[in-house]
Chain A
Amino acid sequence: MKTVTLKRGLALALDGAPEQTLHDGPPIRHVAWQRPANTLLQPEEAVTEGQPVRMGEGLFRDRHAPQVRHLAPASGIVSRIERDSRQQLTAIEIRCDASMACRVERFAPVDNAHQLRDLLQRSGLWTHLRQRPFETTPPPDATPAAIFITAMDTRPLAADPAVIIAARATEFGIGVDALAMLTAGPVYVCQEKASRLPDRQCKRVQVVAFSGTHPAGLAGVHIQQLYPCDREHPVWHIDCQDVIAIGTLLQSGTLDFGRVIALAGSNVRQPRLLKTRLGARLDDLLAGQLRDTKNTDPICGSVFAGKHRRWLDRFDRQVVSSGMLSMRSGTAVSFMSKSGAKSGTRSGTRSGAESGDIQLNGFAAEPRFDRISALSMPAVPLLRTLARLDFAAAESMGCLDLAAEDLELHAFVCPVGNDYPAALTRCHRQLTGHP
């Protein structure tokens, strides 16, 4: 097994680390389908409010990719349909009804890559794949040069994927072998050094161990280390839990909408791993779980740049509720109250990023950037190209391997609060030619 040792990174010890054992989550009464980011999607023939739907039924048809289906993650009544200011469908919420039966569709076993591709698109699992460059859902006819399976998570307060995989090793193995059909190139299973996954039969599947602190577990780091991509040779990456869902689909022919998330943070009564489901409403998920329910605003995703959401996103693997966050001694961070953080420079630039206007406050070139950065290129010149809108140089330096999550740590340590994830997104937008 190949081992990659990363010496650079940032280890944060935060209070409220989750106990790494699987627990059943609270009952979920509402789930939602949410629009995947960075994807061209033109829904038509969508369900209407009040309409009953069964788990596994299509919610709408996408005009651009009719073969990729978007399925209801639970049976119940469509309770809410949300659109943004441009009238684009953004979310469909379903009030779960346990008495309603699932739509029983036994997906037939697959024999070749074409059938597998078709199966993934019909079952909605296609939208769990992400393609780089540009971190989009892959086009239905795309072929990757390599596939990365992320079986590790180094973000603070994250769940250990090894625990989740250990509980469903067979399905994971089937999923990995199946993904190898989709590419002629290598399939990398990236895991932590300590956990050992069984070697696969297919020679193109390589288990690679990454040792090091965050960001050693990010797909961008794996891609830069093992198989950098460019426009003509995109790579895909997928989370290990989605691989398990693919394995389940292939093994039993049924859809698996269950996911495990880490519920963590100092405001959580019992930080632990919860079995819940895709798109679960946060109010249901957190009922009875928090110490202080009034002065808290739980975030989904990484503690460095999570979001306030009403429902879990398909890629969220942790929910952090910290209230007034406390700090363990010896870490290089201080915590501000929520109001303090919102009035700070950093959030000012972040909100500017949403409207497309990114204010960069000068450029800090301290050597510290290099210590936390595990990118294959020196961090400071890359960040400088992003700050100075030199997109061609950024492309030659490998910004196509990266997604916004890979620069969250750089924004965190930036003394002038520059929003590098937003700058990278802007760069990608320019490079795709769709400003």
Chain B
Amino acid sequence: MNLPEWRPGHTSGNTPVTSPLTSVWQAERIALLWLLALAPAVGFAIWQEPAGWLRTAFLVALLLQAWQLLFRLMLPPAGALFSIQDLVHALLFALLLPVDFGIREIVFTVSFGSVFGDRLFGGRGFSFLNPVVTGMGFALFTFSSTSSDIPLSAVPIAALLIPAIVLTSVELISIRTLLGILASAVFLLAGSPGEAASWQLEQSSTLALVALYLVTDPAAGGSTDASRFAHGLLFGVLAMVLLHADQDVLAAAINAALLASLSAPLLDHLVVQMLAYRRGQRLLLQRRAVVDAVMAAGKEGRSPAAGPERDQADV
């Protein structure tokens, strides 16, 4: 079949317009919701260690803002002057950075995460990694000998319940990812119930923080129903394997999140290939049905259709 040439046929006097409607789901409002969802964890952190935690959070926020300004100057127009998303990342960094990190370590960690996990690729939505996971992965790899790996604060899991419900109910994070994580946890802990009981608050809190705020990041996770679940499941399994390999809990959680993020595009690809294969099969079946219909009509001595070459078609 010859395809007709495509030519834009704009009719004169018709100016394309945007919709008079505007969705409430603007990027900054979504970031604001993430900020609100972080409130319980931040509250606990401030309550436990007010001066130290706020100092770290302030430093991280300042660093992220500095990178934002620098990249805006280098590659205009790259985003707004100030972004709430950066604040979200700053709080997450502050919640996870180990307690004995000095200023030098913090600067390197945050800069690496921000530059390589986010800005070099064009900002949020262009990279497939979460900048916090990237930065923390780098830190735990580079400064592992100097750090004790204990985060500044420990947040009870119960305090994360409400944010989890809020974020899933407005569909900013996928409930399938959370279910995947839970499924892996239940399956693996069922084998050794004593182990979970022996965990300290810091351990369970770190795992829950990483699982809820970093693994579920839609920009760094699966993008189909099946791959979202698989991504959560993979994170859970990897975290447990790394814990058993005697990694401490923060390193295990971050490394598991990093590896799961790296394999998320592969999971997506597999799911999409499967769906595309099914679509191809369906098209094939349709073609066969048409050929069968034409053959059957030919045997009966009539033509069911349609084209100009079939003049005497039966009506």
Bound-state Cα–Cα, A258 to B11, Å:
21
Option from B12, B122, B306, B312 in Cβ contact (under 8 Å) with A143: B306
Chain A window 223-265, contacts with chain B (Cβ cutoff 8 Å), 1 for yes, 0 for no: 0000110111110000000000000000000000000000000
Q: Judging by beta carbons under 8 Å apart, are A333 and B24 in contact?
A: yes
Whether, in the assembled complex, A111 has its beta carbon less than 8 Å from a beta carbon of chain B, the answer is yes
Chain A window 303-331, contacts with chain B (Cβ cutoff 8 Å), 1 for yes, 0 for no: 11111111101000000101001000000
Bound-state Cα–Cα, A434 to B228, Å:
37
Bound-state Cα–Cα, A350 to B15, Å:
11
Chain A window 99-112, contacts with chain B (Cβ cutoff 8 Å), 1 for yes, 0 for no: 00000000000011
Q: Contacts A117-B308, A182-B305, A367-B171: A415 and B8 contacting too (C-beta < 8 A)? A: no
Which residues B1-37 have CB closer than 8 A to chain A? 1-27, 29-30
Which residue of A is nearest B289, CB measured?
Answer: A185
Q: Judging by beta carbons under 8 Å apart, are A232 and B18 in contact?
A: no
Q: Contacts A183-B305, A233-B283, A363-B126: A38 and B9 contacting too (C-beta < 8 A)? A: yes
Which residue of B is nearest A35, CB measured?
Answer: B9
**Residues of chain A with a CB closer than 8 A to B313's CB:** 112-114, 181
Whether, in the assembled complex, B244 has its beta carbon less than 8 Å from a beta carbon of chain A, the answer is no
**Residues of chain A with a CB closer than 8 A to B290's CB:** 145, 184-185, 233
Whether, in the assembled complex, A347 has its beta carbon less than 8 Å from a beta carbon of chain B, the answer is yes
**Residues of chain A with a CB closer than 8 A to B283's CB:** 228, 230, 233
Bound-state Cα–Cα, A39 to B9, Å:
7
Q: Judging by beta carbons under 8 Å apart, are B27 and A354 in contact?
A: no
Which residues A124-159 have CB closer than 8 A to chain B? 134, 136-137, 139, 141-145
Whether, in the assembled complex, A429 has its beta carbon less than 8 Å from a beta carbon of chain B, the answer is yes
Whether, in the assembled complex, A351 has its beta carbon less than 8 Å from a beta carbon of chain B, the answer is yes
Interface size on B, residues (CB 8 A): 75
Option from B10, B22, B275 in Cβ contact (under 8 Å) with A333: B22
Chain B window 153-177, contacts with chain A (Cβ cutoff 8 Å), 1 for yes, 0 for no: 0000000000000000011111110
Whether, in the assembled complex, A63 has its beta carbon less than 8 Å from a beta carbon of chain B, the answer is no
Bound-state Cα–Cα, A376 to B171, Å:
20
Bound-state Cα–Cα, A336 to B22, Å:
7
Option from B9, B25, B271, B275 in Cβ contact (under 8 Å) with A36: B9
Which residue of B is nearest A111, CB measured?
Answer: B315
Distance from B114 Cβ to chain A, minimum over Cβ atoms (Å): 15
Q: Judging by beta carbons under 8 Å apart, are A342 and B224 in contact?
A: no
Which residue of B is nearest A36, CB measured?
Answer: B9
Whether, in the assembled complex, B286 has its beta carbon less than 8 Å from a beta carbon of chain A, the answer is yes
**Residues of chain B with a CB closer than 8 A to A336's CB:** 20, 22
Whether, in the assembled complex, A2 has its beta carbon less than 8 Å from a beta carbon of chain B, the answer is no
Bound-state Cα–Cα, A83 to B10, Å:
10
Whether, in the assembled complex, A37 has its beta carbon less than 8 Å from a beta carbon of chain B, the answer is yes
Which residues B248-273 have CB closer than 8 A to chain A? 268, 271-272
Bound-state Cα–Cα, A350 to B17, Å:
8
Chain B window 117-145, contacts with chain A (Cβ cutoff 8 Å), 1 for yes, 0 for no: 00000111110000000000000000000
Q: Contacts A90-B11, A365-B223, A429-B6: A378 and B23 contacting too (C-beta < 8 A)? A: no
Q: Contacts A37-B9, A37-B10: A234 and B1 contacting too (C-beta < 8 A)? A: yes
Q: A40-B5, A365-B219, A380-B223 are in contact. List 20 more A-B contacts (CB 8 A).
A: A84-B10, A112-B312, A113-B306, A141-B307, A144-B306, A145-B286, A184-B294, A185-B293, A297-B17, A303-B21, A308-B17, A325-B21, A347-B18, A366-B218, A367-B174, A378-B275, A412-B23, A415-B26, A434-B6, A434-B7
Between-chain CB contacts (< 8 Å), 27 pairs: A12-B21, A114-B310, A114-B311, A114-B313, A117-B308, A134-B3, A134-B4, A227-B286, A233-B286, A310-B14, A333-B23, A335-B21, A338-B20, A342-B17, A351-B16, A362-B122, A362-B125, A364-B218, A366-B218, A367-B228, A371-B171, A377-B272, A378-B272, A393-B272, A396-B279, A415-B25, A432-B4
